[in-house]
Structure 1
Amino acid sequence: MEALRQKIEDILAADTGCWGMVVTNHATGARLELNPEMVFPAASMIKVPIMYEIMRQTAAGKLSLDETLVVTSGYRTGGAGILKELRPDITMTVRELVTLMIIVSDNIATNMLIDLAGMDQVNRTMTGLGLKSTVLRRRMMDFDAARAGNENETSAADLARLFAHLLSSTGLPPAYGALMLDILKRQQIRDKLPYFLPEETVIAHKTGTLPGVEHDAGILFLPGGPYIISVLTGGLTANVQGLQLVANIGKTIYHHLCFREE
């Protein structure tokens, strides 16, 4: 992937901030890495490990995706999502909460699922999957905890590894891997990796945003097979810088893989 590496390095040369990136051909193992182990604030990327843990516990018979939970006023918080706009004490299934957590990055749904799965259990499972830098330390929108040093963290290498596990349904019955990919393919936040791609392009992905931070990672499905892409950015002077950077990287990767040989 040296030709692709040069194209991406040319894009990065005109940029400031910091970044970590992994692009992997899932079938052949061919891999491009730039600062893969650099640790970043996870932002909403941490929602993918939470989803995996919910599915793992469901497969083990500890949870049911059809179980219903009440969205009480105690869970109301700001940021992304739609549950904050709906009537108080609405009832949702676990499956619906997982879907909202991923496709619109709903923070209320996320905090409910953190309590359901258990923060420590999410971390133990991620460690067991070989993720070295991914840790869930706080709920969504708990900026006091973040300022106190309890920030959620991850790396491009960890996210690439986790998406490979999802694609292979590692440690889970295949139906659960397929369900997670189906939810990720319905992602409605498409302002980064898929921004410049043809509408029919299939990508199962999750984005993350914090002040000075823009991330996107997932699986790009192409006729030649799936590619796992993880792009994390930080130290941005303005978030639009990260949006444009990740979108241009997504376009460059797509055109290189579709129209050029590796």
Structure 2
Amino acid sequence: MDLLRQHIETIIDQSSASWGIVIHRPATGQKLEINPVQAFPAASMIKVPIMVEIMRQTAAGIISLDDSLAVTSQVRVGGAGVLTELRPDLTMTVRELVTLMIIISDNTATNLLIDLAGMPAINAAITNLGLNSTSLKRRMMDFAAAQAGEENTTSAADMAALFELIRAKACLPPVYCDLMLDLLSRQQVRDKLPFYLPEEFKLAHKTGTLPGVEHDGGILFFPAGPCVVTVLAGNLAANYQGLQWIAQIGKVIYDYFSLTKLPKGE
């Protein structure tokens, strides 16, 4: 994938940002990596391993997706999501909270799920999955903790590995992997990797955003087979630039694997 690397490097060389990129085609073993193990602030990418641990506990019978949790005023936080705008006496099922956490990145839903699963259990799952650069150290919107150095982290290699485990149904029983893939495919934040792609093109992905940070990663389903992609950007001078660069990377990947605009030579 030398030509694809050249096109991606042309995009990222426009900036002084830090980049972590992994592109992997499981069927062929082809892999393109740029700073794969560099740790970045995870932003909302951390919600994927949180989802995996919720599903693991469900599979183990510890919790049920039909359990209900109260969305009290004490647990509501700002940032992404809608729960802060809804009625004060709201209750939601675990399934509904996981859905909101993934498809619109709701921070209140995420914190409820962190409390439900337990931060130690989530970090144990992360370790057991072999995600060496990933750690959950704080709840969403806890900026005091972040400023004190308690920042959630991940790497492009870790997220690509996790997406591949979900895709291959290798981390949990297939029914739960299928559910996670369905949630990721219903992602409503589409301003990065899929921005320039055809509306009908299928992908399952999760984004992340913090000041100076823009991420996107998941599985792109090409006719010739899936492609696992993770693009992490940090130290951005302006977030809107990161959005556009990742969108351009998404288009280059799409062109390389599905169109004739880029030759397929290695």
TM range (shorter): over 0.9
Question: What CA distance in whole angstroms lies between the structure 2 residues aligned with 1:66 and 1:29?
Answer: 39
State the 1:72 CA deviation. 0.9
State the 1:16 CA deviation. 1.9
Partner of 1:8: 8
Matched position secondary structure for 2:193: coil
State the 1:89 CA deviation. 2.1
Deviations 1:190-220 (A, max 9, x none): 0000000000010100000000000000000
Structure-to-structure mapping, 1:20-39, within 5 angstroms: 20-39=20-39
Structure-to-structure mapping, 1:93-132, within 5 angstroms: 93-132=93-132
Matched position secondary structure for 1:163: helix
Matched position secondary structure for 1:36: coil
Partner of 1:154: 154
Partner of 2:264: 261
Partner of 1:75: 75
State the 1:171 CA deviation. 3.2
State the 1:83 CA deviation. 0.5
Matched position secondary structure for 1:208: strand
Question: What CA distance in whole angstroms lies between the structure 2 residues aligned with 1:38 and 1:60?
Answer: 33
Partner of 1:189: 189
Partner of 1:225: 225
State the 1:15 CA deviation. 1.9
Partner of 1:17: 17
Structure-to-structure mapping, 1:161-176, within 5 angstroms: 161-176=161-176
Partner of 1:142: 142
Taking structure 1 as the reference length, the TM-score comes to 0.98
State the 1:14 CA deviation. 1.7
Unaligned runs of 5+ in 2: none
CA RMSD of aligned residues (A): 0.8
Which amino acid in the other structure matches residue 50 of structure 2? I
More divergent stretch after superposition (176-185 vs 120-129)? 120-129
Which amino acid in the other structure matches residue 116 of structure 1? L
Q: Residue 239 in 1 paired to residue 239 in 2?
A: yes
Deviations 1:12-57 (A, max 9, x none): 1222211100000021221000000111000000000000000011
State the 1:84 CA deviation. 0.5
Partner of 1:200: 200
What is the count of residue pairs matched by the alignment? 262
State the 1:10 CA deviation. 1.3
Matched position secondary structure for 1:231: strand
